[in-house]
Amino acid sequence: MPVSMQPLTENTLAAVGELVLEFWHRAWDPQFTQEMLHWRFLQRPHGETLLVMDGDRCVGMIDSFLRDYLLDGDIVQVRELGDWYSRPEYRGIGLKTMRSMMKRPEPIMSIGGSEATQSLLPKLGWKPLANPAADYALTVTRAALVNAASQRLGIPGKRFTVRLANRFTHPRRWFLSDPRHRDNATVRPYVGTSGAIGGIPSAGFYQMASLIGREEIKWLHQAPEKMGQFLALEFLIDDEVAGITVSRLFDLGYLQQANILQVQTSQVSMDMYRWMIEETTNQLVAQGASSVRCRTSCVILADALKELHFHKRDTLQTVWWSREQDAPQGPVLLSRFRADDGIQPFPL
């Protein structure tokens, strides 16, 4: 039977699971596998997964999310590529699925990826952005330092020593209150009321900015329990929502790590970003985070992170594909909330 390309459906989800668990290096029990795959691929608000099937066997796939971006003052949909796999015995299948996605009408954004992906995309005509995304990290407790040293040096008994260090060094808050914050500024958990989500940047600040919507926050909150906790906070000025952060707190088995997935505000400034990162970090630390990470391509947000002692870890290849629109070369606001970056790492 010849191979065929087809969209992912409920009927082919099990076949997809056999492929992705191999590439994800996971061996989950059947019940969690079904729960996780259904949430990851079928419950998300907007996305498309293209499969290559050889009979009942999935031998290749490419996955994408469709999300709103502010681009040159307009809100448009941008496609974000996620899982892209093919079995080695099916030579050329991966390139066919990529070319199929590149024929879609939406522009496509890619950040990072495997060495093979980063090498191939420029050859296919993808263009780099002037401001690539970069990852920043803040070490909160000695447990995170012990963990890093244990991994680097191969010290045995890592889990015990990390847990012990975390138990005796975990703070309740990391940052003290900053007197620069105004009396009319407050923070509250995201309430999810109707209407447009707050904190959309003005077109004058960024040529392009990724946006997060209510459906996407709802989807994150529906994640399987093993995925950890997703925390959304609203930042108010004079009782009006001026910004939102979305974070994930997850268990590595011996310590907890937090990733700030999205930082979005209508009042772009160093002080605003600093306040949002401070408050978000404090809440994550209070719930057990031993380290906090954040990704951004915005130089203002990057400066706020550095001022708060986040250290730059990696600069990531950030590339763009569109037949109609040139790659943005002005200021851009990108984050870890891109494709499936925000939901990784997956549980062991």
Report CA-CA distances (Å) from 14 to 19, 31, 86, 222, 309: 9, 12, 16, 21, 44
Q: Are 292 and 112 in contact (CB under 8 A)?
A: no
Q: How many CA atoms lie within 13 A of 54 on its CB side?
A: 8
pLDDT at 147 over 80: no
pLDDT confidence of residue 253: 82
pLDDT band at 123, cuts 50/70/90? very high
Radius of gyration over every alpha carbon of the chain, rounded to an integer in angstroms: 21
Q: Report whether 35 contacts 224 (CB < 8 A).
A: yes
Q: Can you tell me whether residue 5 is helix, strand or coil?
A: strand
Euclidean distance between CA atoms 261 and 133, whole angstroms:
13
Confidence of residue 2 (pLDDT cuts 50, 70, 90): confident
Residue 309 near residue 138, CB atoms below 8 Å: yes
Ramachandran assignment for 72, one of left (phi > 0), alpha (psi -120 to 50 degrees), beta (any other)? left
Instruction: Dump the DSSP string for 183-235.
Output: TTEEEEE----SSSPS-PPPTTT-SEEE---HHHHHHHHTS-GGG-EEEEEEE
Asked if residues 203 and 306 have their Cβ atoms less than 8 Å apart, the reply is: no
pLDDT at 160: 47
| pLDDT average, residue stretch 297-304 | 98
Mean pLDDT of 164-184: 61
Q: Residues 69, 76: contact at Cβ < 8 Å?
A: yes
Q: Does the CA dihedral 265-271-274-276 come out positive or negative? A: negative
Residue 105 pLDDT more than 80? Answer: yes
Instruction: Indicate the angle between helix axes 270-286 and 299-307, nearest 10 degrees.
Output: 50
pLDDT bin (cut points 50, 70, 90) of residue 312 is very high
Question: Across residues 274-303, what is the average pLDDT?
Answer: 96
Note whether 310 and 281 are within 8 A (CB). Answer: no
For the record, the structure tokens of 150 come out as 């244990």
- The fraction of the chain above a pLDDT of 90, given in percent, is 80
Residue count of the chain? 348
Distance between first and last Cα of the chain:
36
Please report the pLDDT score of residue 162 as a whole number. 46
Mean pLDDT, the chain, as a whole number? 90
Closest to 322 in 3D by CA, of 127, 175, 156, 173: 127
3-state secondary structure of 128: strand
Residues 346 and 223: their CA atoms lie apart, in Å, by 11
Three-class DSSP category at 341 = helix
Res. 149: pLDDT tops 90: no
Residue 114 has pLDDT above 80, yes or no: yes
Tokens 């009942």 identify what position? 56
For 29-88, the pLDDT digits (tens) are: 999 999 999 999 999 999 999 999 999 999 999 999 999 999 999 999 999 999 999 999
Split at pLDDT 50, 70, 90, the class of 102 is very high
Virtual torsion, Cα 177, 180, 183, 187, nearest 10 deg: -50
Percentage of the residues of the chain whose pLDDT score is greater than 70 = 87
239-272 pLDDT tens trace: 899 999 999 999 988 789 999 999 999 999 999 9
247: tokens are: 């974070």
Q: Which residue has the higher pLDDT, 84 or 166?
A: 84
d(CA 43, CA 153): 41
Cα separation values, 210 from 66, 76, 99, 127, 284, Å: 11, 10, 24, 18, 23
